[in-house]
Structure formats: structure tokens, C-alpha cells
Structure 1
Amino acid sequence: MKKISLKIIALWLFPFLGFSAFADDFNAKQTLEKMAHAVNELNYEIAFVQTSPSNMDSFRYRHIKRDNKTYAQLVTLDGEQQEIIQRDNLVSYFQPNSRAFTLNSGNIVDALPAIIRSDFDKLAQNYDFIPLGKNRIAGRYADGIRIVPKDDFRYQYLVFVDEENGLLLRGDMLDREGKLLDQFRVVTLYIDDRLKGLTDYLNKVSMPPLLNEVKNTPPSLNWHAGWLPQGFESVRRSQDLFEGEVIDSALFSDGLFTFTLYVTQAQGSQPNQEQTWKQGEFTFYSEIIGDKEITFIGQLPVAAAKRIVQEVKFTN
């Protein structure tokens, strides 16, 4: 009864999206899993825009599977050209006015929604997947799905998956009130095995030097997150030295949203002094607790950010 009620409410709340209430029902989780498979296995090219309340950028992304290896290319379409090239487990960055470099990575993650790489069995522990019927995106029919958190500590997500090939055509990140925070939207889509010819070009591009990986360094300031929303885990920890000051950081993710905590020694400010501001999908929250300054930057509501910061624990 709960799932039926949620579905009816969702259809009532989002009439402006043009869903068809008369379309056949479908299994939302299976559709999402089909999307994850299509993104990784098809040979395709998409042009898309990424939009926030204050900015819009356009890109072209090409993905090719050849000889059991993955090749991909992401190129900006506005302003100075920036290019990211993937050759199997190596991803190279080419940007104007900066030195090119290469990272060990199995995917290009820049500008692409995290939802396409998510583990949906894991997400199902903390989110409900609600089918919303059919829509039309980029001239193609798509299945709409609303991804709703089971708590009040994170945002919601709408996805529109091509019903024929399974590729993501649109993804909307919304706050708890339904306000748009960020949108991924495909403008053109092209699927063809002839894209495999692009691998010849990608293999000829000179590979920039490989950067050293950031080690999972224990925090020097002896701290840990005392509370996290369910499903969030530490992904990476690092330590940097900036102008003689040690900065500990830790990246956390639940497979859909991410945030980073930064911990430094406080410099001449009063304890419990806090700062908060928002920029699109990102929340910035900083507070001085004792003699440490703790800063949150990530994709969670302010209330969640504040609690996470205030629950950071220190040991001697």
C-alpha cells in the first residue's frame, strides 16, 4: 500500500514533467540496471548539457568497447576546448593553460551523473525507486523513475531512461521541496559500431605523465566521523600541506551523492563560529569546534551537513 501511495503522490506532484499516466508500468530497478549495462557496453555518442541554477555547460561524450577494452572521450563544446580521453584503465586530461596528466581510473566521471555507475542493490537499502510512466526526451521515448531517499538527510533524483537502448537521457537532482539543483540532459544520441574507428585516433594521442595516486593516509589530527547518514562510507582519505598548515580530508559517498570533510587547526577564531552557504547542488558548511575548524563541501542538505560536522570526534 505504501508503494502505491508514493506512486500516486509522485504523479500528482510532477505534472509539469509531462508523464503519461496511461503508459504501461515497468520495473524501476530493472530499468536502472539496464541503464548501467547500456552505459558500459554500447558504442554510442551523446551531446548533452549540464545545467545548474547559475550555469550551463555543453559536452560531447563518446564511448566505445573494442577488443574487451573501454575507450571514451569527453570534450567541451563551448569556450576553450577541454578534452578527457580514456584508454581502458588510464584517463588523460588535456586542459588549456595547465599541464596534461593521466590517472589510473576505469571511467571518466567528470560532468557525467554518478547515477550511471551506481550499485542499485546497495542504493535500494536507502532509496525507493518509483516508476513515473513515459516521457519524451531528445525525440526518444523514455521511462521516468523517481529515486526517493528513505530519510531526510539527502536529496532526491529523477531519471529518464531510453526505453529502447537503456541509455540515460536526463537526470534531475532535486532538493526536498522539488527545486532543481542540477540537470543532465541529452540533446542528440547516436549508436553505431562504426564509432570503433575512433579508437585509432585515441591510441595515437600522446599519453601525458601518470600522476602518483593519493594514498589512503591516516588523519594526522586524530579525528573520525561520529555520525553519517545510513549508507555513506569513506571512499578516500588524504593529507595535504598548504602554506605550512596540515589539512586532513576524507571523501564519503553512498553511491549517488558525495561530500568531503576538511579538518584543520583553527586560526584565531572563536569556538562554535559557523558559516553556511549554498551553490547549486553543493552545500558549504564550516564550524570551529574546540581548536579545530571542520568544513563540509558536498551534495547534502544544510541540516545534514551541520550534523555531520558537529558529530566529528577527536582522540588524543
Structure 2
Amino acid sequence: MFFVTALFSPFFLSFSAIAEEISAKQTLERMVQAVNSLNYEIAFVQTSPTNMDSFRYRHIKRDNKTYAQLVTLDGEQQEIIQRDNLVSYFQLGSRAFTLNSGSIVDALPSVVRSNFDKLAQHYEFIVLGKNRVAGRFVDTIRIVPKDDFRYQYVVFVDEENGLLLRSDMLDREGKLLDQFRVVTLYIDDRLKGLTDYLNKVSTPPLLNEAQNNVDSLSWKAGWLPYGFERVRYSQDLFDGEMIDSALFTDGLFTFTLYVTEAESQQPHQDQTWKQGEYTLYSEVIGDKEITFIGQLPIATAKRIVQEVKFSNN
């Protein structure tokens, strides 16, 4: 009997681990669906080691269109309004503008927009059990990378409605880099009445983000952590200097590379800056200055920068 139990124990342990990961993934997928389909209002705080901001976010589905509003609750008033595929930005003292976008990405964690089928190739999903956030019971899931090149998430999903009530972005040692935490939650179809107000707000000029896009760049990333891919690149003229930029993402974390002509050609000249989830790493290589800004550890940023390849190399 002992031999039979010992023989099949690894099988049952393996099956249990697979079942747990499937359960965790289903919870995460339910979260994405709830965030994008329910009519709700949340007040939340976004906290980093050096800063804390508070916001109110409203999300409405009406007539097969998506409406949303994000406003600051502290300091200078700022408002972002989504009317289906148009997102408009309003801020005192600044010119209002509109972007083509299917969602408001500012202040909201990227985990609510993730494709977990795709992320499963590079992350593990681990059930941590039950907890409470804002007086509500939640399912707690840890999203852990399968390598050492990126950060991790812990998410707290309302077990009743599937909404994200809290997310912690952590480094590999478990240090908090950024936290999203809901304070109050309100779900009601009567929020659809807000769309009458949102539709009356004048639409600021639409920015043409494609106007500076180019067919190709003279450089490329020679190494990226698995799963990262380039999603946009462009050239911009700033103070008479041409700046190449390229945006990369793995569906959970993002970073941008900037390439300019170097003021000097001193080899191995670098600058490093870290604040919360964001890393800035800059190094002069040959006659180019390459700068990384994004949500990855310093060691990863340094390797990405140092392995940029130019077409004439």
C-alpha cells in the first residue's frame, strides 16, 4: 500500500498544481471581463514608496459603447474622459487633447488589460487564498515571472463581482514598488445616466500620434526578455535634435528605448535612476546615447541597453 501511495503521490501533486494554476487563471480572466463589462464607480489610491495619489474612476457600458471617467481627488484637478474609442485629457493650465484609444490607461494597473493566455508562457499564477479589501472578500493571486528579468504582481479580486480591489507590484525580493487599492466600490446600472454628461463635454482636438512614425529605425534591441515585443516606434524632433523611440511590452510590463546622438563619445558613461516601479538607465555607446525608461529591474535595463544593435554594426 505504501509503495502504491508513493508511486502515485507525484502524479497527484502535479495534478493539484495544474488545477490550482487553471483556477488562478480563471479568476484573472474573470477579473478582466468584470473590469471591462460592469457599470461601476470606485475611489482608489495609488501608492509608491515616495508618493500617494487618490482618484475616482467610473466605467459604463451603454448601447454597445464604453464610457469612462477618471478624476483626481487631491491637488490640481485633472479629468480624463473616454467616449468609446476617444479618450480626452483635461487639465488646468494645459491645452486639452484627445487620443484614439479603447481605454483609459492612466493610474489603472496594466494587469486589468492583460491577456493571460499569452502571459502564461512567461508567468506562473499561484492561488494564495482568501483575504479582505475595502470590507469585501477577495481571491488573492500571485503572478510570478518564470525568469529573473522582471517584477511580480499580487492581485486581490472581489470574489462576488470579479473586480480588482487591490494590486501590489513587487520586486523579486518582495519589496513594494506600486500599489493600487480600492477604498469604496459602487456597482449600479443607474450610472448609465452619466453618459448624458460625458457626451455633452466638448471633444478637444485629436492628436495624430502616427504623424512622426517611421517605416523603420537604424537600430534594434539585440536582446529582450522572452515575451517582450516592440509595439510602436517613431522619430521626433526636439530642440533641433532627432530622437528615436521604441515602445516594448510583454502584456504586463512596458518600457521605452530612446536613441539620440551623444554629446560626447566617452565609453561606458552611464546614469541610473530608480523610483518605485520605474527605472531610468542611460549609457553612451559609440556616438549614440541610449536611454531606457520603464518597469523592469536595473540589471535587465542595463543588459537591454548594452545589447542594442545598429544596422551599420
Give the match for residue 78 of structure 1.
74
- Tell which deviates more after alignment, 159-168 or 263-272: 263-272
% identical equivalent positions:
81
Paired AA for residue 207 in structure 1 = T
Give the match for residue 5 of structure 2.
none
Per-residue CA deviations over 1:265-316 (Å, capped at 9, x if unaligned) read 1112412111112111111111111111100001000110010001100113
Give the match for residue 38 of structure 1.
34
Q: Supply the RMSD in Å over aligned alpha carbons.
A: 1.9
Match of 1:217 among 214, 217, 221: 214
Shift of 1:213: 2.0
Secondary structure at 1:296's aligned position in 2?
strand
- CA shift in 2, pair 1:110/1:3, >3 Å: farther
Shift of 1:25: 10
What TM-score do the two structures reach when normalised by structure 2? 0.92
Larger Rg belongs to = 2
Mapped contact 2:83–2:198 kept (Cα < 8 A): yes
**Mapping of 1:1-316 within 5 angstroms?**
27-215=23-211, 216-220=213-217, 222-316=218-312
- CA shift in 2, pair 1:25/1:214, >3 Å: closer
CA distance in 2, matches of 1:246, 1:3: 59
Paired AA for residue 94 in structure 1 = F
Paired AA for residue 280 in structure 1 = G
Shift of 1:2: 11
Secondary structure at 1:80's aligned position in 2?
coil
Mapped contact 2:21–2:125 kept (Cα < 8 A): no
Task: Provide structure 1 residue ranges, at least 5 long, that are not aligned to the other structure.
Answer: 9-23
CA distance in 2, matches of 1:3, 1:136: 31
Secondary structure at 2:210's aligned position in 1?
coil
CA distance in 1, matches of 2:13, 2:116: 21
Secondary structure at 1:285's aligned position in 2?
strand
Give the match for residue 15 of structure 1.
none
Shift of 1:4: 6.5
Mapped contact 1:219–1:239 kept (Cα < 8 A): no
CA distance in 2, matches of 1:274, 1:3: 51
CA distance in 2, matches of 1:175, 1:2: 32
Mapped contact 1:239–1:248 kept (Cα < 8 A): yes
- CA shift in 2, pair 1:164/1:242, >3 Å: same
Mapped contact 2:279–2:292 kept (Cα < 8 A): yes
Per-residue CA deviations over 1:37-93 (Å, capped at 9, x if unaligned) read 001100000000000000000000000000000000000000121000000111000
Secondary structure at 1:115's aligned position in 2?
helix
Paired AA for residue 142 in structure 1 = V
Q: Number of paired residues? A: 299
Mapped contact 1:271–1:291 kept (Cα < 8 A): no
CA distance in 2, matches of 1:289, 1:35: 44
Mapped contact 2:265–2:286 kept (Cα < 8 A): no
Shift of 1:96: 1.0
CA distance in 2, matches of 1:93, 1:189: 24
Paired AA for residue 217 in structure 1 = V
Task: Provide structure 2 residue ranges, at least 5 long, that are not aligned to the other structure.
Answer: 1-9
CA distance in 2, matches of 1:152, 1:175: 10
Mapped contact 2:255–2:295 kept (Cα < 8 A): yes
Paired AA for residue 27 in structure 1 = S
What TM-score do the two structures reach when normalised by structure 1? 0.91
CA distance in 2, matches of 1:201, 1:36: 26
CA distance in 1, matches of 2:280, 2:270: 11
CA distance in 1, matches of 2:202, 2:21: 49
- CA shift in 2, pair 1:165/1:242, >3 Å: same
Shift of 1:179: 0.3
- Tell which deviates more after alignment, 281-290 or 207-216: 207-216
Secondary structure at 2:209's aligned position in 1?
coil
